[in-house]
Amino acid sequence: MNFTLKVWRQKNRNSEGRFESYTATNITPDMSFLEMLDAVNHDLVEKNQEPIAFDHDCREGICGSCGMFIKGRAHGPQKGGAACQLHMRSFVDGDLITVEPFRAQAFPVIKDLIIDRTAFDRIMQAGGFVSVNTGGVPDANAIPIPKTIADEAFSAAACIGCGACVAACKNASASLFVAAKVSQLALLPQGQQERKERVEAMLAQMDKEGFGSCSNTYACEAECPKEISVSNIARMNREYLKAALG
Amino acid sequence: MTLDAKIPDGPLEKKWDTHRFNLKLVNPSNKRKYHIIVVGTGLAGASAAASLAELGYRVTSLCYHESPRRAHSIAAQGGINAPKNYPNDDDSIWRLFYDTVKGGDFRAREANVYRLAQVSGSIIDQCVAQGVPFAREYGGLLDNRSFGGAQVSRTFYARGQTGQQLLLGAYSALSRQIHKGQVKFYDRRDMMDLVVIDGQARGVIVRNMINGELETYIGDAVILATGGYGNVFYLSTNAKQSNATAIWRAHKKGAFFANPCFTQIHPTCIPLASEHQSKLTLMSESLRNDGRIWVPKQKGDKRSPKDIPMEERDYYLERLYPSFGNLVPRDVASRRAKEVCDQGRGVGSTGLAVYLDFADAIARNGKQWVEEKYGNLFDMYQRITGENAYQTPMRIYPAVHYTMGGLWVDYNLMSTIPGMFVLGEANFSDHGANRLGASALMQGLADGYFVIPYTIGDYLATNKFKPVKEDHEAFTESKKAISEKTEQLMSAQGKRTVDDLHKELGKILWEHVGMARNEAGLKKAISMITALRKQFWSDVRIPGKANDLNPELEKAHRVADFMELGEMIARDALHREESCGCHLREEYQTDENEAKRNDKKFAYVAAWEFGGTGKAPKLHKEALKFENVHLTQRSYK
């Protein structure tokens, strides 16, 4: 298979970027999207040109490093997967594929397709935890949790922090990301003590980082590689309201 | 130098408690005077940094990722062991200890393994308190499943994403300390060197990966929790960036490297499809609970699996090991898979695969039951191979997964460099010659939550630390050496990409230092690696600039170290004239093709001292004493 790529190239945080065209040749359908980029980069290095910089690591859809928009969609044309899990069999031979970084004011571009998502870390630092120190905790089975609740908490906790929800949202809202953590800990008995403070602190930090508001388009859920449900946002809003009402 | 493992005296069950009592304490108000550097934010690094900060130490945490949460612990699927005996199947600390020592083919320290088994229960308690959503029964209590090498169910899990949930737990504890200002965290920093002053580890030099600047971090102790070195093989289940540079450069500064040839090849991975493949993907070992492994009885049988009748199939693990069946330890399962493929009975287009079949489980319990337990793994398989494993058996083949070898540490997890501690996969400590499933998460968190917080206090309390500044010549010299190395890499301007050279190294290692090794092959590998290393330095091509974000340069530094480490792995494998665990020397096998140990000559830890690039390292031996278990030929029959 052969493809034409239009890839966003940007030297650094302060410079202006632009699209450049490349051709990807001799690509096989079983190659992953990142392996296709590896092949393009291999050719670029052989021509002594700088390869396309992109974040990647586990290449199995769990580390959350992938941060690119492919053919106009976060993580490309697939449901429930990160860019590293996208295979070239999802494209048609000869396709023109546009590749650009996730766009959001809170995610500045560092270079080419690499973005700075440390805003997510700062939101977590503001309240995405249960305040327990190491040691001195009760036996694990001393805290029974109904299976349905544990499963629901797990589904929210499966978030990989990639930022596709922000990139897909026209408001660049981080609501789904924040809601996933708020929801996980609001569902579980361990999270009850700091329930009020947590949702307030995390949402305050979210606003501070420059993410937009949620206007219920559900684009986040549609593009989430872990298919995290927007019902978590509803839960977060209820938590926030409850906290505000004291 | 004689190696002193500092294993406490007394009965096995009492060693850790006695030792803890004997360790010196740092009083609470003095803890803030000490500064500890933690490199790496996986399970071991994040749990250590958080726990030490909670105690009051000042902590600097560094990682090469953009966020601590991206460390490769995140990808562990199956679970974490603890002998809670919740299922009432007669588990105990002793049984976990025994299974682990035996599973490691009697090449691990008894005292370390016992301690690991002792603290493992507390890990589960800790993680639950953090809000880790482990799988539960309908009654609300925790669920367990079984893993290879054990006949009890002691594995706690969170669907197929246990590593993710545990890491996010440790990450949340770390985040809390960052918010409090007790931990200073720096992202996208690649450790380039360890700095030793007056015989003490006092800091690290890191490369700021965004602008290429070399930065100095000073502390009173340094903890390396930088993971394993499986990527030396190029193709492995590790993340693409996983590397050995931190431990290798510390090795060059005096830290001994133990048992480098103990590299685990995991039996259940998705087979290699073609040459351009950049990594291999693991399918959790938990699949072996319900999937049955088989190949056709006939060589070269190209029929579709559904057309091969039952009597023409060979469920070889069940045939060879009736009591453990498909749940034999990883090394055994991998070796047998290679054996049937070598006999020409492998399946798939390459013939390098065996079937893992769920037809019986689906017939017995229904598709929904299988889906609930393993759904995400089946999805992952389909995504990669395009095949539906509910309808046709999965194809699997062994792949490099984990390294039991690593920097040598004593019972306190301190390396041969005073003040440098090594945790998690980066050290060699607990798994001997083969790690059992669901034990890596256990060890990483044991080291970080429950061992280092105590043992590091003793080191700090019993040593004096001169104030040092960034302009100390040890730092400036180290920076100069790194800059020269970078310059040498950048100026080679050869013809080959870093990846090409890395792939070639990987092929040499896989062929000669992989699942089966022999003297001639190992000698050949050493000379091939020596030649390739030379070529690397003259023929590598790195575009771009050194003082910029430059992924090719990052890789080049790492591969330069792999080129040296690869040779040491082969040397270690050559010197160990026995088979044990994952280290199979073809010359040393029983009549039934099982690993044949030589306890008289090789019941020791091989700790290698760096002798200079291209020069033979010096071997030091730490004798392993078995006072509580009887050394036997492992049997899973």
The reported pLDDT for the residue numbered B2 is 81
CATH number for region A118-244:
1.10.1060.10
The reported pLDDT for the residue numbered B80 is 97
Indicate the average pLDDT of chain A: 97
B128 touches chain A (CB under 8 A): yes
A28-78: pLDDT as tens digits: 999 999 999 999 999 999 999 999 999 999 999 999 999 999 999 999 999
Band (pLDDT 50/70/90 cuts) for residue B285 is: confident
B458-486: pLDDT as tens digits: 999 999 999 999 999 999 999 999 999 99
Band (pLDDT 50/70/90 cuts) for residue B273 is: confident
Cross-chain CB nearest to A50 (options B134, B281, B544): B544
Q: How many other CB atoms are found less than 10 A from the CB of residue A217?
A: 14
The reported pLDDT for the residue numbered B198 is 97
The reported pLDDT for the residue numbered B7 is 97
Domain locations in chain B as residue ranges: 267-399, 473-597
User: Across residues B44-64, what is the average pLDDT?
Assistant: 98
In the CATH hierarchy, which fold is given to the domain comprising A3-111? Ubiquitin-like (UB roll) (3.10.20)
CA distances from B592 to B334, B576, B596 (A): 15, 21, 10
A244 touches chain B (CB under 8 A): no
- Pairing assessment for the beta strands B35-39 and B58-62 based on DSSP bridges: parallel
Strand-pairing partners, residue B155, are: B81, B145
CA distances from B616 to B572, B608, B611 (A): 11, 10, 6
Residue B336 a catalytic site member: no
Does the structure show a pLDDT above 80 at B416?
Answer: yes
Contact A60 B75 (CB under 8 A): yes
Does the structure show a pLDDT above 90 at B90?
Answer: yes
Does the structure show a pLDDT above 80 at B345?
Answer: yes
Of the listed B69, B249, B288, B330, which one is catalytic? B330
**What is the residue-wise DSSP string for chain A?**
--EEEEEEE-SSTTSPPEEEEEEE-S--TTSBHHHHHHHHHHHHHHTT-PPPP---SSSSS-S----EEETTEET-S-SS--GGG-BGGGS-TT-EEEEEEPP-TTS-EEETTEE--HHHHHHHHHH-S----SS-PPPGGGS---HHHHHHHHHHHT-----HHHHH-TT-B-HHHHHHHHHHHHHSGGGSTTHHHHHHHHHHHHHHTT-B---S--HHHHH-TT---THHHHHHHHHHHHHHT-
d(CA B310, CA B294): 10
Q: Are B79 and B155 in contact (CB under 8 A)?
A: yes
The reported pLDDT for the residue numbered B276 is 87
Does the structure show a pLDDT above 90 at B547?
Answer: yes
Does the structure show a pLDDT above 90 at B237?
Answer: yes
Phi, psi of B503 (to 5 degrees): -60, -40
Contact A51 B551 (CB under 8 A): yes
From chain A, the residues in CB contact with B86 under 8 A are: 141
A177-210: pLDDT as tens digits: 999 999 999 999 999 999 999 999 999 999 999 9
B554-602: pLDDT as tens digits: 999 999 999 999 999 999 999 999 999 999 999 999 988 889 999 999 9
CATH number for region B473-597:
1.20.58.100
The reported pLDDT for the residue numbered B592 is 84
- Contacts with B136 (C-beta within 8 Å, 6 or more apart), sequence order: A145, A146, A147, A150, A151, B142, B143
Does the structure show a pLDDT above 80 at A103?
Answer: yes
B143-182: pLDDT as tens digits: 999 888 889 999 999 988 999 999 999 999 999 999 999 9
- Nearest-by-CA chain B residue for A61: B75
3-state secondary structure of B587: coil
- Nearest-by-CA chain B residue for A154: B133
Contact A121 B125 (CB under 8 A): no
Residues 183-202, chain B, touching A (beta carbon < 8 A) = 187
The reported pLDDT for the residue numbered B552 is 98
Does the structure show a pLDDT above 80 at B225?
Answer: yes
Indicate the average pLDDT of chain B: 96
Interface test with B, best of A1, A46, A54, A58 (most B CBs within 10 A): A58
| Percent of chain A whose pLDDT exceeds 70 | 100
**B544 Rama sector, left if φ>0, alpha if ψ -120 to 50, beta otherwise:** left
A:B CB pairs within 8 Å = 213
- Nearest-by-CA chain B residue for A89: B386
Does the structure show a pLDDT above 80 at A246?
Answer: no
The reported pLDDT for the residue numbered B635 is 83
Q: Which CATH number fits domain B267-399: 3.30.450.40, 3.90.700.10, 3.30.70.1230, 3.90.1150.10?
A: 3.90.700.10
Strand-pairing partners, residue B59, are: B36, B183
Nearest Cα to Cα of residue A85 among A34, A26, A160: A34
The reported pLDDT for the residue numbered B609 is 98
Q: In B23-130, at which residue ranges do the beta strands (DSSP E only) sit?
A: 35-39, 58-62, 80-81
CA distances from A138 to A172, A202, B155, B270, B448 (A): 41, 27, 19, 40, 19
Cross-chain CB nearest to A157 (options B74, B133, B141): B133
Nearest-CA distance from B545 to chain A in Å?
Answer: 9
A50 touches chain B (CB under 8 A): yes
From chain B, the residues in CB contact with A138 under 8 A are: 125, 129
d(CA B354, CA B55): 50
Domain locations in chain A as residue ranges: 3-111, 118-244
The burial of B176, by beta-carbon neighbours within 10 Å (0-12 exposed, 13-18 middle, 19 or more buried), is given as buried
